[in-house]
Amino acid sequence: MSDETSAAADTGLRRDILTTLLPAFDGPVAPEWVLRLLGQGLGGVCLFGSNVVDAAQLRALTASLREAGPESVVAIDEEGGDVTRLYYDRGAPYPGNAVLGRIDDVDVTERVARTVGEALADAGVTLTFAPDADANSNADNPVIGVRSFGADPELVARHTAAWVRGVQSTGVGASAKHFPGHGDTNTDSHLALPVVDVPLATLRSRELVPFRAAVAAGTRTIMTSHILLPHLDRELPATLSPHILHGLLRGELGFEGVIVTDALDMQGASGGRGIPEAAVLALAAGCDLLCIGADVAESTVEAIVLAVEAAVASGRLDEARVAEAAAHVRALAATAPALRAEVQGDASPDGFEAAPVLSSADIARAFEVRDGTLAALEGAASVGTVIRIDTVANIAIGVAPWGPFAAETVSATPSWLSRATIVGLAEDGSLGDPAALAGPVLVIGKDLHRHPFAVSAIDALRAARSDVATIDLGWPSDDRAYADIATFGASRLVGESVIDLVADALAADQVVVA
């Protein structure tokens, strides 16, 4: 840090700017520069899977962060399903939103969210970027899918509100996302700028319904989306649009909490303009807390500070707007649950895991199983071959273990999955001769219909043999053409239910599918 920067470290404007910033870093220990900037007013940090080794390490890390910045936020993406950071090494022990939406019991959803909140509070985390409040109206959505409670806005609304109530009952703040709604997209905003070209009337009757419910439930924060809505703003994505944030979110919906940006390193926000300029525009639009992205360098933080200072000096950005944003963040930090001296309840020392709210059978009842699918397994000693379809995970989910493969790695008792021959199939791979595979054959993947190589492989298998069943742990196509079993989630808990469902079919003399 330069002498000028050091001398200005405690000036009011610089401190306020720092308070609006939420960087991240790689590894299990906070870098010196992060601790130093926390002492100068940095708003907090966002934790990722790379920051988590085990429970003891994570509690030590969050304690160091909160000691360095008592008015800071310690945030994480823990959605309680496919997107998990606490359980990035093993998959989450929760059902995920789409499964909860299909069960459609708001008391269960609230209990699950409370369990997630207790684990986060035990870990020393103060804010989770959840729940996902998007109504997933597009089955080809590459980034939302099973992170959503469903396609029906009213269903999504009641479960969003329940999730907010549940997690915030533990003291951990919620963040309904991705405002004003990322459900009707077929583009990933991490990689490009999605366009939702619908009129405001459609937004009001669909996208905004869950966010109204989140506001009514008292969500402390709402996260913006990097999507373009031409009927509201032809030039700027929602994160950078004063009309959408000030007019719609603050004005029409009456939200008074903290507006958080999705990560500014995403192409939907900073593409073509850079992160510092995106930060200036986000603050001017009404955002309070700026997520910068994963593994952020100190130089990036300082570049943002300089850009905001220059924008204030030139009159592009009102200093009072920066002070207002910083005040909102400090007020949020003041709601944080106290650091706990001991882990609560039955949480295990290595994973903050409590007893699951739902049983394996409860989860399985949320699956869609095509008539006759399990009959092919009757009388078989075990599954012969598992075709594991590996696709590139979206950046929000990352490379956490998924589904039955996650469940098997932590199970004390090997299942039919460990006895089967597992054939991994990626986009550049070949299936070989389908008829030569030992049967029965299970194809297991996520969002199978969205991947031409997976569709081609399944078509070839079905043409060659009759003992093939497909298990889609993602969001299936509307016609379910490539999902004989659709689980609507790929968390470890869902994976355990898949293992049990197949095991029951193998053991059954007769399988009746409701």
Instruction: State pTM to two decimals.
Output: 0.94
CATH code of the domain covering residue 103: 3.20.20.300
User: Both 385 and 277 in a single domain?
Assistant: no
pLDDT of amino acid 200: 93
pLDDT of amino acid 192: 76
How many CB atoms are located within 10 Å of the residue 249 CB? 23
pLDDT of amino acid 1: 43
Mean confidence (pLDDT) of the chain: 92
User: Both 108 and 221 in a single domain?
Assistant: yes
Write down which residue in 267, 298, 333 finishes a domain.
333
pLDDT of amino acid 350: 63
Q: What is the pLDDT of residues 214-263, one digit of tens each?
A: 999 999 999 999 999 999 999 999 999 999 999 999 999 999 999 999 99
pLDDT of amino acid 2: 44
Structural domain of residue 397, as residue ranges? 360-507
For residue 346, pLDDT beyond 60 = no
Q: What is the pLDDT of residues 335-344, one digit of tens each?
A: 999 998 766 5
Q: Is residue 257 part of a domain?
A: yes
User: Both 326 and 281 in a single domain?
Assistant: yes
**Annotated catalytic residue, options 159, 178, 182, 190:** 190
Q: Is residue 22 part of a domain?
A: no
Say how many domains are in the chain.
2
Is 190 an active-site residue? yes
User: Both 392 and 283 in a single domain?
Assistant: no
Q: What is the pLDDT of residues 461-502, one digit of tens each?
A: 999 999 999 999 999 999 999 999 999 999 999 999 999 999
CATH code of the domain covering residue 475: 3.40.50
- Structure-block tokens of residue 458: 């399944």
User: Both 310 and 419 in a single domain?
Assistant: no
Cα 22 to Cα 162, 193, 329, 508: the distances in Å are: 27, 22, 10, 53
Q: How confident is the model at residue 388 (pLDDT cuts 50, 70, 90)?
A: very high
User: Both 193 and 292 in a single domain?
Assistant: yes
- Which residues, 6+ apart, have CB-to-CB distance to 441 below 8 Å? 383, 384, 385, 386, 387, 434, 461, 465, 467, 468, 469
Q: What is the pLDDT of residues 171-219, one digit of tens each?
A: 999 999 999 999 888 777 777 788 888 999 999 999 999 999 999 999 9
Q: Is residue 99 part of a domain?
A: yes
User: Both 143 and 279 in a single domain?
Assistant: yes
Write down which residue in 294, 315, 333 finishes a domain.
333
Q: Is residue 25 part of a domain?
A: no
pLDDT of amino acid 57: 94
pLDDT of amino acid 429: 77
Q: Is residue 327 part of a domain?
A: yes
- Structure-block tokens of residue 482: 């490539």
pLDDT of amino acid 4: 46
Q: How confident is the model at residue 353 (pLDDT cuts 50, 70, 90)?
A: confident
Q: Is residue 289 part of a domain?
A: yes
User: Both 240 and 95 in a single domain?
Assistant: yes
- Structure-block tokens of residue 475: 């969001």
pLDDT of amino acid 426: 83
**Annotated catalytic residue, options 132, 262, 288, 500:** 262
User: Both 171 and 270 in a single domain?
Assistant: yes
Is 262 an active-site residue? yes
For residue 7, pLDDT beyond 50 = no
pLDDT of amino acid 444: 98
Write down which residue in 333, 351, 386 finishes a domain.
333
pLDDT of amino acid 427: 82
Q: Is residue 404 part of a domain?
A: yes
- Which residues, 6+ apart, have CB-to-CB distance to 79 below 8 Å? 96, 97, 128, 129, 130, 131, 132, 147
- Structure-block tokens of residue 479: 């016609």
Q: What is the pLDDT of residues 18-74, one digit of tens each?
A: 999 999 999 999 999 999 999 999 999 999 999 999 999 999 999 999 999 999 999
User: Both 187 and 309 in a single domain?
Assistant: yes
User: Both 329 and 469 in a single domain?
Assistant: no
Helix residue ranges per DSSP H, 470-513: 492-507
Residue with tokens 């989306």: 225
User: Both 279 and 371 in a single domain?
Assistant: no
For residue 513, pLDDT beyond 50 = no
Q: Is residue 467 part of a domain?
A: yes
